[in-house]
Amino acid sequence: MDTNTARALQGLEHNNPSVRLRAALAVGTAPDPGFIGTLVERCAIEPEFSVREMLTWALTRHPASMTVPALLGEVRSERAQARSQALHTLSKIGDRGAWQVITPALLSDADDEVARSAWRAAVVLVPGGEEQELAVVLATQLGRGGRETRLSLSRALIVLGEVMLPTLDAATRDPDPRVRAHAIATERLWRDPDAGFAFAIEEAKRVVALGEGGQEGR
């Protein structure tokens, strides 16, 4: 190990996030397979978002044949951040050989950040012809979580394109008003991307409320 390599590896563990950021940049600028294990391990525990993003970038600079196997192992980690960041990195690498790790259990992970990363990775990695099946699994998560979680799911469904519309249409008649509102909002966002999610979800809530009121009045 030469001096520059040793310095970079030490920098990734420095107390100062600015030093860690520069170290990750250096590693990505001069890729070396010897860095991959440390980069992956650091992704699992790095507290700073900007540094995690740089670690992901550094990993994308290395051969996918070497990084993807390491990341697949992380997706099965008990640590939520390890799973989330590994999925995020896999989505950036875009190697569809990683599709094998995208399971229904992962797409419904109890941790919102992991689930959101899984949704983003899934729509990038899904093999051609399996988009509709993926839409069905993603639709089981409609109505979940807060605004950011719901927006992430809407965006993932929209990326799948028209194949998700029948599944989304069915969800607009779901017994759960949260699911119906989310499905309606996603459909509106699909048809009018400029409307914005906040506007779409408020409109959807009104539609659901009026529908329920109409049913009660019958």
pLDDT tens sequence across 43-92: 999 999 999 999 999 999 999 999 999 999 999 999 999 999 999 999 99
Q: Which of 188, 60, 30, 194 is nearest to 124 (CA)?
A: 60
Are residues 63 and 12 part of one domain? yes
Domain of 22? 1-125
In angstroms, the CA 12 to CA 137 distance is 38
Q: What is the mean pLDDT of the chain?
A: 90
Taking only Cα atoms into account, the Rg of the chain, rounded to an integer number of angstroms, comes to 20
Are residues 218 and 114 part of one domain? no
Q: Quote the pLDDT of residue 6.
A: 73
CA distances to 50, 67, 143, 175, 176 from 212, rounded to whole Å, are 45, 51, 17, 11, 11
Tokens of 139: 């639709």
Domain end, chosen from 67, 97, 125, is at 125
Domain end, chosen from 104, 125, 146, is at 125
Residue 141 per-residue DSSP state: T
* Residue whose tokens read 């509106």: 188
In angstroms, the CA 94 to CA 45 distance is 23
Are residues 118 and 141 part of one domain? no
* Residue whose tokens read 């906040």: 198
Is residue 43 within 8 Å of residue 55, measured between CB atoms? yes
Are residues 135 and 101 part of one domain? no
Residue pLDDT, tens place only, 87-130: 999 999 999 999 999 999 999 999 999 999 999 999 999 999 99
For position 5, which CATH number holds? Answer: 1.25.10.10
